[in-house]
């Protein structure tokens, strides 16, 4: 899995001397700064955002997700995981699960 961390507050543009220069974006200072992105096993792009000064946390999350995928333990965060409260238990008719 190839993923990456996007910095939404800065972008890299060629400077006057041709060397790359970091430039503030229109989003600078607003919203969550980092977005960790990867392509899931189903071929769709997934992402999670992180606040300023938490790039390392975003990198760790991305590495954990990649490890889960390689071990076969990946669970798509967009899939419903639990039954709704209206599902009744076989052992206690008439009672809702909480």
**76-88 confidence digits (pLDDT tens):** 888 876 344 333 3
**Looking at the DSSP assignment, which residues form a beta bridge with residue 92?**
none
Could you give the number of structural domains in the chain?
Answer: 1
What pLDDT shows up at residue 1? 58
What backbone torsions phi and psi does residue 96 show, to the nearest 5 degrees? Answer: -90, 145
Does the model's pTM come out above 0.95? no
Has residue 54 been placed in a domain?
yes
What pLDDT shows up at residue 81? 65
- The residue that leads in pLDDT, 89 or 12, is 12
**43-65 confidence digits (pLDDT tens):** 999 999 999 999 999 999 999 99
Has residue 88 been placed in a domain?
no
Provide the token pair at 31: 């919203």
What pLDDT shows up at residue 80? 79
Has residue 80 been placed in a domain?
no
Has residue 76 been placed in a domain?
no
Has residue 36 been placed in a domain?
yes
Report in angstroms the alpha-carbon separations of 78 from 28, 53, 75, 90. Answer: 28, 26, 9, 28
Has residue 91 been placed in a domain?
no
Measure CA of the first residue to CA of the last residue in the chain; give whole Å. 37
Has residue 79 been placed in a domain?
no
């Amino acid at each position: 899995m190839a993923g990456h961390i996007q910095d939404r507050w800065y972008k890299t543009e060629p400077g006057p001397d041709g060397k790359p220069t970091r430039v503030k974006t229109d989003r600078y200072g607003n919203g969550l700064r980092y977005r960790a992105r990867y392509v899931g096993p189903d071929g769709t792009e997934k992402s999670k955002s992180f606040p300023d000064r938490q790039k390392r946390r975003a990198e760790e999350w991305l590495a954990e997700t990649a490890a889960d995928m390689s071990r076969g333990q990946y669970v798509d965060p967009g899939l419903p995981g639990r039954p709704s409260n209206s599902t009744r238990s076989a052992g206690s008719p008439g009672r809702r699960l909480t």
